[in-house]
């Protein structure tokens, strides 16, 4: 596998809008959920000393959820990175391990997932719908990593309840993280794109903590270069119209391709074993 290039171009763009401490704060495992205060002032964050930021890494995998990962044989390549970013509680390992890997360090949690799982936690996860039960199963996969809600609103109360419920009922030990500055507000200013996807958010965040970034699972089209039909996600068969979706993913994909042309990131498409060098 070719080594990803340094991401200095991306880092320069991102750092003009948002600073590392504003991107993510991870509560230390010793802090009880009731004491999560979601402070947004840098001085108070340092004074309270409840959180820490991400460590700097040499190589990072930013893993999307596109169906391009199915039968990609990219699991080993993904796992070889120093730090692995995943999004929205996507499943990994088990039957997906060969294609998406068995390791992870962090995942995002979206608004719908936070609200749904917090509601379940308040009822001690009793009488859950099949969809929410599957969400819980996927969340448990992230037990020794970090679960990160990068938006601003709705975190206080919901994250407290969810983290308390997961800890008490399932002995869940993941770190819980938030963004002092909502990245869904900051990222559009960086890329001049009104409604960024979680993928663009993750890439922007990773650029301040990772020297070299490789992107996997980013391909917003229905067929690949060999005319093979692709699912929207590698783990389900839910349909999506890429062009009418609010994130306008094909336009966003052009941003990624331009970044690759600038030697700022590596985009992995297709079978990792066949493209390995």
| 233 in active site | no
Closest CA to 160 of 114, 128, 109, 126: 114
**CA–CA separation, 167 vs 21, rounded Å?**
26
Closest CA to 25 of 147, 158, 141: 147
Choosing from 48, 144, 233, 247, the catalytic residue is 247
With vertex at residue 54, the alpha carbon angle to CA 50 and CA 59, rounded to the nearest 5 degrees, is 165
- Cβ-based neighbour number of residue 245 at 10 Å: 14
**CA–CA separation, 30 vs 248, rounded Å?**
41
Catalytic residues: 247
């Amino acid at each position: 596998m070719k080594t990803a290039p340094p991401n200095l171009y991306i880092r320069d763009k991102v750092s003009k809008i948002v600073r590392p401490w504003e991107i993510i704060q991870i509560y230390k495992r010793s802090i009880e959920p009731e004491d999560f205060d979601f402070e947004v002032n840098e001085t108070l964050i340092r004074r309270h000393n409840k959180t820490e930021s991400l460590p700097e890494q040499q190589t990072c995998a930013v893993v999307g959820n596109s169906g391009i990962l199915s039968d990609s044989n990219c699991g080993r390549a993904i796992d070889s990175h120093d730090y692995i970013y995943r999004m929205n509680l996507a499943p990994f390992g088990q039957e997906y391990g060969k294609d998406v890997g068995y390791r992870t360090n962090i995942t995002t949690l979206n608004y719908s997932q936070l609200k749904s799982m917090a509601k379940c936690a308040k009822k001690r996860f009793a009488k859950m719908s099949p969809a929410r039960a599957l969400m819980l199963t996927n969340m448990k996969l992230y037990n020794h990593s970090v679960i990160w809600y990068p938006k601003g609103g709705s975190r206080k109360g919901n994250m407290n309840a969810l983290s308390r419920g997961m800890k008490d009922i399932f002995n869940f030990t993941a770190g819980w993280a938030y963004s002092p500055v909502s990245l869904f507000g900051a990222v559009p200013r960086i890329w001049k794109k009104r409604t960024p996807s979680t993928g663009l958010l993750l890439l922007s965040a990773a650029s301040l903590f990772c020297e070299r970034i490789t992107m996997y699972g980013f391909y917003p089209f229905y067929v690949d270069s060999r005319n093979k039909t692709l699912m929207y996600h590698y783990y389900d068969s839910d349909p999506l119209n890429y062009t009418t979706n609010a994130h306008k993913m094909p336009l966003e994909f052009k941003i990624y391709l331009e970044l690759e042309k600038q030697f700022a990131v590596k985009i992995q498409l297709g079978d990792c074993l066949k493209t390995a060098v």
